[in-house]
Structure 1
């Protein structure tokens, strides 16, 4: 599982920082999460192929999380894209994008599908054979969702020595990988555990931005491998965080601790701070496994 941070700063873009956007690669799928201004430029800088992005998830309709979407959609068309593009986001996103396309007479060369979200309860919004994506309802000034990406368990690993020792025909291999037992010609049942190894444990990634401190997310993200959580402010600005429905680094770490996640990634920093290492220092007083997102930084888990 690979996470590439295209932008992770709050509010407005600067020459040295970009608003929220990131790419998650999981089970050979590539998902774009949020699309602030400059996203397509950051995709180029990070050498991410536009053609590999077929699903875009927008957390909420504040500009620093989706103002780059229309440009990205337009560029995909100018490059001759023909593959379908699916966009998941709050109700209203279809109206915003199609209005811009209509008034600029810039219709896409590909099918554009909008999956508008309204539910305040967690729901499955994408599922295929390998990955499932659920919403994480957040607490912000407008309707906002985080997103939980989960790998589905893979096949069991064939124990080649064991199947050869039992002289099991290759026609049963797929059944064994799927967890099935095998019955020999003499009626003997060979249990699956003797013929295969456990699959690689499926991984999970939770994206939570923007939100105030919100313990309701804890059951939804419990035990995830990686949690990206906004940390707009430091604890010294806790009152401001409360007023704007954002989190401090300490609050993000508290959520990570209570949810028993394996790794916390901080982001969405206010640009009032000159040094983001102070966010890590503050969070580590609560939770030990902290990484700092930064524009252009990639993590492999």
Structure 2
């Protein structure tokens, strides 16, 4: 199993269907688990997908429409029921703090898990850690909304053959990685001699919004873009009226921003055949297009090294 993957818990928009639950997405990013927009029924979808509450390190809400947050009470209570031992941080638009309080304490329960609220007030970083930096940008919807972007720092990939040739091994490898240079066998070994650049990976999550500068900023150069495509382009007028995107608009964003894998989701129930979303997007974006399905797992594309996939 990939250590970096998206577990899709729900893909419907305002109303669930027989085959699509309301929103819910868990990003597994090495040791970090980020739960985005848990809509109604998320706790059951987690069970069906094999996702444990103990995997959740962060809950990230884009906005306070029901299909993006009505699963919060069940998830919060499950954290305590399962006695999740670590602190879970919750990010959400600060203007909706009262909504979050009501969701968090919707009913009586024995709260033993620690949930730390970290409201989002403006564009910029909202969290940092071993996973990288989690950023937020304000979107253009009918209510206050933010999209999220996860950025891993650039690094370097060590070349075993070069290390062997120079006789560098064991703890000396760690010293070289930390210090950038190592005195070894009467000479100085530089990190560039035994490694190649390893661009950090990037992920973006864009929900309910019209096209705006923030959409492009979030999507810029990401390996995996999860983005709403509530409507098809034939209904672009409705999309603009209600603050949403079409599959064609999402595809243009992916093309212009150099996205590697495009995941379309948040589909209106007015469309019976999801293949139409794929066809519309694939006609514009020649990268990998995924039409999200409930309970599917979408790997983050393998990282690239110095411009060469691997």
Shared fold by TM > 0.5?
A: yes
Deviations 1:193-244 (A, max 9, x none): 32x2226542211111011122443234211111111111111111111111
| Contact 2:227/2:264, CA 8 A, preserved across alignment | yes
Aligned to 2:8: 5
Structure with greater Cα Rg: 1
Aligned to 2:138: 137
> Equivalent residue of 1:198, what SS?
strand
Mapping of residues 141-290 of structure 1, within 5 Å: 141-154=142-155, 156-157=157-158, 159=160, 161-168=161-168, 170-178=170-178, 180-184=180-184, 186=186, 188-194=187-193, 196-198=194-196, 200-289=198-287, 290=289
Q: Which runs of 5+ in 1 are unaligned?
A: none
Deviations 1:90-137 (A, max 9, x none): 125543343456573325112221111121xx3111110232110132
| Contact 1:26/1:151, CA 8 A, preserved across alignment | no
* Aligned CA distance change for structure 1 residues 240 and 89 (closer, same or farther; 3 Å): same
The Cα shift of 1:153 comes to 3.4
Deviations 1:129-180 (A, max 9, x none): 2321101321100111111112233554253x54454445744321222361
Q: Give the Cα–Cα distance (whole angstroms) in 1 for the partners of residues 203 and 106 of structure 2.
A: 38
Q: Give the Cα–Cα distance (whole angstroms) in 1 for the partners of residues 267 and 28 of structure 2.
A: 23
Please, what TM-score do these two structures have when normalized by structure 1?
0.90
Q: Give the Cα–Cα distance (whole angstroms) in 1 for the partners of residues 209 and 103 of structure 2.
A: 28
Structure 1, 149-158 or 59-68: larger mean CA deviation = 149-158
Structure 1, 53-62 or 10-19: larger mean CA deviation = 10-19
1:90 and 2:88 aligned = no
> Equivalent residue of 1:127, what SS?
strand
| Contact 2:204/2:218, CA 8 A, preserved across alignment | no
> Equivalent residue of 2:92, what SS?
strand
The Cα shift of 1:258 comes to 1.4
Query: RMSD over aligned Cα, in angstroms?
Result: 2.2
The Cα shift of 1:277 comes to 0.6
